[in-house]
Amino acid sequence: MNSPHASSEAVPRLARIIPRDSHPISRSKIAPEALRVLYRLREAGFDAYLVGGCVRDLTLGLEPKDFDVATNALPEQVKRLFRNCRLVGRRFRLAHVFFGREIIEVATFRASGAPPQGDELPPEDPSLEDGSLEDGSLDDAPIDEAPLEVEEVSELEDSRDVHDFDESLERVVDQSGRILRDNVYGTIDDDIWRRDFTCNALYYNIADFSVWDYCQGFEDVKARRLRLIGDPETRYREDPVRMLRAARFQAKLGFEIEPATAEPIAKLSGLLAGVPPARLFDETLKLFLTGHGAESYRVLLERGLLDELLPGVAAFARKHPGSAPERMLIQGLINTDARVRADRPVTPSFLFALLLYGPIGLAIEKRPRAEWHDISTILDAVDVAVRDIYTRVAVHRRFILGMRDMFALQPRLEVPRGRRALRTLEHPRFRAAFDLLQLRAEFGMADKAIVEWWTKLQAATPEQRATMSEAIGRTNGGAEGRGSSSGRNSRRRRGGRRRGRGGGGPVG
Ligand code: ATP
Ligand code: MG
């Protein structure tokens, strides 16, 4: 089948085949699980290729994040070959082959340019660290809005938005040109159209270890160049997330986006408003929590994409460039990148606390100064900032609750009151809240002495802790019993009250 793209002539139907001795990809660098899937498919008489980011990364000498396989076996045929296999995807059927925590994604060659895992709601990543709220000891009033659900295909077919449903292609496109459904299988040379950039469209053939290249992807990888396959504007309209992916690969790989691929982004970035917020949440985590978050922030701002992804964050950055909250955000992202590189856990709660710190501070400062440190003021401000991004990015509720805890703990950390400090130490979000306090102090937004006090307290023996907390309790006028359940309830009531715009806290 021919590609439906006007510019399909731009991609030859014959691949350039790069033999094993002309490319650097060695099987020793391929995950054994991926090799097993490739060999099993091959033994069953199917074609099997590694494809996508893993081939790109192997060519660059980097360690791939994950391994994707493309094959001419149909999903049901793949399922029959592997006991540990599940078919996933409502709109795009894919086979997931499980090896413990490792998943190898096996996709059947597809006929036209659809996003492979496109609008599917991504599964929550269980590896993301974020403990559940302990006992609601801080305000845990629920956020009103639930994440947007991804619509079923059947609804989309009925939708008035759908203006083009070609049964022979089984391809549904909305008014902006976005592909809503695509489920036709094809051959490897059709499959190229479901790839985004040339560097992501290299196929490593397990039959003879050659690399198949239809669109000079190999040259582009070597030149560290990001180039969309086909007409850039059409490809961005089909799937606006490709603009974010361009920014992500620029940030992650240090590739240069070639002019024709970069140019339409400014004009088309507004199309991101039509992407399901659950998918943008997933992309946001990939941008900021995979080791190149600081650079992602820079690139997203530079390309005007942050204004569409996280409008409140971008507005703050544009209005207050170089401010303490912005410098703290960048430093926080640098620290997060280092944690990812060291294989230490990172949490979306902390990320969103960093991103929203500026907007939350602004909301707080709208209140009378005397209320800035009230927990209810702080939580109201957090909720205002969250609502602001929620229409774009559906942050999972547990991360919002984690972030609210981090902010609500700030006054407790800044003014420890007697033995209550010891309970704060046990709070499941203490560590994240303390990290935030430390960063705030680094940028002059909290007292360095109190950071030192908490650092000492953490290292102290139980006896020393008791002495320290009593001593600081006398200084701060802390009374025992302030953390009692009645106190907690009254805080919860206050925090749960909705007072519209505004909030308060020790944020600026
Ligand atoms: P990463 O290093 O982040 O895993 P990747 O390029 O492998 O990068 P994935 O999201 O894992 O990205 O997708 C695998 C492959 O699927 C891509 O390399 C690309 O060929 C294709 N792909 C993914 N998303 C899209 C999209 N939105 N549009 C077109 N092709 C896509
Ligand atoms: Mg990948």
What pLDDT digit, counting tens, does each position of 153-205 carry?
Answer: 222 233 323 333 333 345 556 677 665 555 568 889 889 888 999 999 999 99
63 CB within 6 A, ligand 1: no
Is 90 exceeded by the pLDDT of residue 360? yes
Name the band, by pLDDT with cuts 50, 70 and 90, for residue 91: low
Q: b or e along 211-221 (b: 16 or more beta carbons within 10 Å of the residue's beta carbon)?
A: bbbbbbbbebb
Task: Indicate whether 351 belongs to any domain.
Answer: yes
Bridge partners for 69 per DSSP: 50, 106
Q: In this structure, are 234 and 328 located in the same domain?
A: no
Location of structure tokens 């190898």: 104
Q: In this structure, are 342 and 230 located in the same domain?
A: no
In this predicted structure, what is the pLDDT of residue 243? Answer: 98
Is 50 exceeded by the pLDDT of residue 4? no
Q: In this structure, are 141 and 12 located in the same domain?
A: yes
In this predicted structure, what is the pLDDT of residue 475? Answer: 80
Structural domain that includes position 20: 6-238
In this predicted structure, what is the pLDDT of residue 186? Answer: 84
Identity of residue 349: S
Domain boundary among 219, 238, 257: 238
Q: For position 428, which CATH number holds?
A: 1.10.3090.10
The yes-or-no answer on residue 337 being catalytic is no
What pLDDT digit, counting tens, does each position of 52-65 carry?
Answer: 999 999 999 999 99
In this predicted structure, what is the pLDDT of residue 472? Answer: 87
Q: In this structure, are 331 and 218 located in the same domain?
A: no
In this predicted structure, what is the pLDDT of residue 89? Answer: 84
Contact between 9 and 167 (Cβ < 8 Å): no
- CB-side neighbour CA atoms (13 Å) of 60: 22
Q: In this structure, are 203 and 325 located in the same domain?
A: no
Is 50 exceeded by the pLDDT of residue 448? yes
Task: Indicate whether 247 belongs to any domain.
Answer: no
Contact between 362 and 90 (Cβ < 8 Å): no
In this predicted structure, what is the pLDDT of residue 395? Answer: 96
Which atom of ligand 1 is nearest to 68's Cα? Answer: 14
Show the tokens assigned to 89. Answer: 């995807």
Which atom of ligand 1 is nearest to 195's Cα? Answer: 30
Cα(44) to centroid(ligand 2), Å: 25
Structure-model confidence comparison of residues 273 and 190, the more confident one: 273
Is 60 exceeded by the pLDDT of residue 147? no
Q: In this structure, are 218 and 332 located in the same domain?
A: no
How far is residue 91's CA from residue 120's CA, in Å, rounded to a whole number?
7
Q: In this structure, are 42 and 169 located in the same domain?
A: yes
How far is residue 113's CA from residue 180's CA, in Å, rounded to a whole number?
11
Q: In this structure, are 229 and 343 located in the same domain?
A: no
276 CB within 6 A, ligand 1: no
Q: Percent of the chain at pLDDT above 70?
A: 77
Identity of residue 425: L
In this predicted structure, what is the pLDDT of residue 417? Answer: 85
In this predicted structure, what is the pLDDT of residue 172? Answer: 59
Reduce the DSSP state of residue 130 to 3 states and report it: coil
Q: Percent of the chain at pLDDT above 90?
A: 70
Q: In this structure, are 12 and 157 located in the same domain?
A: yes
Strand locations in 290-373 (E): none
What pLDDT digit, counting tens, does each position of 279-333 carry?
Answer: 999 999 999 999 999 999 999 999 999 999 999 999 999 999 999 999 999 999 9
Task: Indicate whether 446 belongs to any domain.
Answer: yes
- Of 376, 326, 384, 329, whose CA–CA distance to 360 is shortest? 384
* Ligand nearest, relative to CA of residue 201: 1
In this predicted structure, what is the pLDDT of residue 190? Answer: 86
Reduce the DSSP state of residue 37 to 3 states and report it: helix
Task: Indicate whether 508 belongs to any domain.
Answer: no
How far is residue 268's CA from residue 252's CA, in Å, rounded to a whole number?
22
Segment 39-55 shows an average pLDDT of: 97
Task: Indicate whether 22 belongs to any domain.
Answer: yes
Task: Indicate whether 245 belongs to any domain.
Answer: no
Is 60 exceeded by the pLDDT of residue 127? no
Task: Indicate whether 161 belongs to any domain.
Answer: yes
Task: Indicate whether 359 belongs to any domain.
Answer: yes
Show the tokens assigned to 115. Answer: 């996003």
Contact between 297 and 327 (Cβ < 8 Å): no
| Ligand 2 is an ion; residues with CB less than 5 A from it | 53, 66
* DSSP code per residue over 402-430: HHHHHHHHHHHHHS--TTHHHHHHHSTTH
What are the CA-CA distances from residue 379 to residues 63, 258, 417 (Å)? 41, 44, 20
Q: For position 147, which CATH number holds?
A: 3.30.460.10
In this predicted structure, what is the pLDDT of residue 180? Answer: 56
For the purposes of burial, counting CB atoms within 10 Å of the CB of 469, is it exposed (0-12), middle (13-18) or buried (19 or more)?
Answer: buried
Q: In this structure, are 352 and 446 located in the same domain?
A: yes
Segment 467-484 shows an average pLDDT of: 68
Which atom of ligand 1 is nearest to 53's Cα? Answer: 7
Element at 173 (helix H, strand E)? strand 171-174
Rounded to 5°, angle at Cα 121 from 37 and 329: 105
- Of 334, 336, 358, 356, whose CA–CA distance to 346 is shortest? 336
Is 80 exceeded by the pLDDT of residue 443? yes
Contact between 252 and 290 (Cβ < 8 Å): yes
Structure-model confidence comparison of residues 491 and 460, the more confident one: 460
The total number of structural domains in the chain stands at 2
Quote the DSSP letter at residue 14.
S
Show the tokens assigned to 410. Answer: 């700030």
Residues 6+ apart with CB under 8 A from 309: 244, 272, 280, 283, 284, 300, 392, 393
In this predicted structure, what is the pLDDT of residue 17? Answer: 96
Lowest-pLDDT choice from 107-121, 411-425, 429-443? 107-121
Is 90 exceeded by the pLDDT of residue 397? yes
Segment 491-506 shows an average pLDDT of: 33
Cα(65) to centroid(ligand 1), Å: 11
How far is residue 388's CA from residue 327's CA, in Å, rounded to a whole number?
22
Element at 85 (helix H, strand E)? strand 85-88
Cα(76) to centroid(ligand 1), Å: 23
Domain boundary among 182, 207, 238: 238
Q: What is the pTM of this model?
A: 0.81
In this predicted structure, what is the pLDDT of residue 506? Answer: 39
Name the band, by pLDDT with cuts 50, 70 and 90, for residue 450: very high
Q: In this structure, are 344 and 454 located in the same domain?
A: yes
Q: In this structure, are 164 and 17 located in the same domain?
A: yes
Domain boundary among 205, 238, 271: 238
Location of structure tokens 């972030």: 403
Residue nearest to ligand 1 atom 25, measured at CA: 115
Residues 6+ apart with CB under 8 A from 25: 55, 58, 59, 204, 209, 211
* Ligand nearest, relative to CA of residue 215: 1
Segment 122-148 shows an average pLDDT of: 36
Lowest-pLDDT choice from 114-118, 354-358, 504-508? 504-508
